[in-house]
Structure 1
Amino acid sequence: MADQTAPSMDYAEHERTYAGFINFSKVGTIAVINIMLCLALFAFGGGAGTFFGWVALIATLVAAAIGLFAGEKGWIPSAVVFGITGLLAILTTA
């Protein structure tokens, strides 16, 4: 026989957890791509690339931490850092 005392599903909590997972996925994906760009700076950028690579790597970690607590628009700080790192990669490896 079915148990009639089982609690119903908490849909609000389910949706909040899903939104957090999606935010973590977006921030994490951008952060990993940015780390790969920092590795390219380390490998091909010379002395300036190594310096800017470390700065960008630290900025990536800070932006990812901010983005995880920012909620739905948490991917924006990581995307800004990614754009700046991309410009630095173009300028130092050319």
Structure 2
Amino acid sequence: MDYPEHERTYAGFINFSKVGTIAVLNVVLCLLLFTFGGGAGTFFGWIAMVATLVTAAIGMAIGEKGWIPPAIVFVVAGLLAIVTTA
């Protein structure tokens, strides 16, 4: 078995799992904005959805710290969800 190649594959899988998990949480927040946010929530939901797709792609390219850009979108979308659904 090619152990260094296995380590690279495992690191890529872990990175994909981190970025994917945060991206799914972002999509759930976007659905919350679409459903309960009214007009402003729909607008911000679309902005957050596009930002999620872009930051997920960037996170995949970054590598080990790739979870940080989608996490920033998650925090911002969470704050927007609190503001627009309240």
Q: In the alignment, what sits opposite 1:17?
A: 9
| Relative contact order higher in (CA < 8 Å, ≥ 6 apart) | 2
Deviations 1:12-31 (CA, angstroms, capped at 9, x unpaired): 10000000000000000000
- TM-score normalised by length of structure 1: 0.90
- TM-score normalised by length of structure 2: 0.99
Distance 1:73 1:11 in 2: 23
CA shift for structure 1 position 46: 0.2
Distance 1:13 1:27 in 2: 21
Q: Percent of pairs identical after alignment?
A: 78
Question: Root-mean-square deviation (CA), in Å?
Answer: 0.4
CA shift for structure 1 position 34: 0.6
How many residues matched?
A: 86
Kindly indicate which of the two structures has a greater share of residues assigned to helix: 2
- What are the residue-to-residue correspondences of 1:67-78 with 2, within 5 Å? 67-78=59-70
Structure 1 residue matching 2:11: 3-state secondary structure: helix
